[in-house]
Structure formats: C-alpha cells, structure tokens
Structure 1
Amino acid sequence: MTPVHEMGAASPTRRRAALLRFATEAGAWAAIGMAFAQISLPLAISVVLASVAVPTVYATPGDKPQALIPVPGWVTIAILAATMVGGIVAAWIAWPLWGAAALSALTIASLVAELPRWRWLLTVRVSP
C-alpha cells in the first residue's frame, strides 16, 4: 500500500478511504446519538455535537486543508479511533443486531482503508 502522503489528493485509494471514513463517522454519530438519547435528548445532542466538533477543530497539518488547532498525527488517530469505538459500542447498545453488525463491518473496512493514512499521521509532528 502506498503511504497517504505519496498518494495525491485525487487518488482512488485515498477517495475510497475518505468515503469509508465519512460513512463510519456518520454512522458512529448516529449510533452515539441514539444511545445517549435513551438517557437524555439534550445529552445526546451535546455528545454528538462534541463528537463532530473535536475533529473539526483539532487537525493534523497536511491532513486537512486547514487545521484550526494543529495537533500531532497521533492525536488525529486517537480522535478517529475514539469515534470508531464509541460508534460500535453505541450501535450494539441502541441498534438492532443487523444495524450494529453493519456498522461494525463498515468500521473494520474503514480501519483497513485508513492504515496508510494512519502510518503517515504517525510521522507528523507539530512544533510548539
């Protein structure tokens, strides 16, 4: 597999990984919202908004066109991994079996597609 930084913005491999990542994040946000809605609707809305805001605000330079608050690559990986794990756990709590299994399979596919990007992200440092 070619590392992300060598793939170019328009490569089919990078587009496929980005599409899978977006679908996984959207599914995770939906599952997280539904799981927390069982406790409180305002809590669910707050948690989903935070889940969307964190990767928007904190980004690794070179990974997104603009990083509002630049962070090293491992932080970007941690944010996405937390979203993935949270989404899977929430789906198994709030969704029917088939939905939770589908999101789990999508997340695994996304993780496999993301590995070249994650390898590259691990090399990115942010100077103070």
Structure 2
Amino acid sequence: MAARRGFRGGAHRSADGLLDAGGQANVLVPVPGWATVLLVLLQLVAAVVSSWLAWPAWVAVLVTVLAAATCVTERGRWQWLMGRAGRDGPAV
C-alpha cells in the first residue's frame, strides 16, 4: 500500500503548538457565562435522564444525588459566570 504524499502519521503540531492526533487544530472558543451554565445543566440533565433509562434504580439514584450535589457546589461559579459575584472569582 503506497503512503500518501505528505502524510506523517501520528500526532500533528498545530500553529499554536498544541498536538492533536487527527491533525486538527485545538481551538478554544470562548462563550458567554450563561452558555457555560446552560451547557453544564444540559450535561447534568442528560446524565440523570440517561441513568434512569439505562441502569438499575439504585445506580440512577446515585447519579441523581451526584447531579444535585454538583448543582449545589457549582452555585458560586455559576453566579460568577453570570456576573452576580465579585470579579475575584467564585466564593469558596
């Protein structure tokens, strides 16, 4: 099998120096704070709903409790992201 021209295989180094196995540049796209909060909530809801559909009840209860605990512990960060806390960062 002939090697493709210019193909080096393995990881590639992007212009910013980050490595990516697929040769794609690792680009971070900043989003507003409300979008970050919404994405985290979406992930938590998906985890809870999926756990109830896929796993035994006792495991789903654990996932639900962990999701609720995450909401409690993330509250300070979410307030900071939404601009309702001081500029120094979330309160610990």
With the shorter chain as reference, the TM-score category is: 0.5 to 0.7
TM-score by length of 1: 0.44
Q: Which amino acid aligns with 1:78?
A: L
The residue that corresponds to 2:68 in the other structure is 108
Runs of 5+ in structure 1 lacking a partner? 1-66
Count of matched residue positions in the alignment of Structure 1 and Structure 2: 58
Residue deviations 1:12-44, cap 9 Å, x none?
xxxxxxxxxxxxxxxxxxxxxxxxxxxxxxxxx
Residue deviations 1:34-86, cap 9 Å, x none?
xxxxxxxxxxxxxxxxxxxxxxxxxxxxxxxxx81011100000110000000
TM-score by length of 2: 0.60
| Root-mean-square deviation over aligned CA pairs | 1.6
Instruction: Identify the structure with the greater helix proportion.
Output: 1
- Is it true that 1:119 corresponds to 2:79 in the alignment? yes
Q: Percent identity?
A: 40
Larger Cα-atom Rg: 2
Of 74, 77, 87, 2:47 maps to 87
Offset, 1:106: 0.6
Q: Which runs of 4+ in 1 moved over 2 A?
A: none
Q: Which amino acid aligns with 1:82?
A: L
The residue that corresponds to 2:29 in the other structure is 69
Matches within 5 A, 1:1-128: 68-123=28-83
SS in 1 for 2:83: coil
Offset, 1:123: 1.4
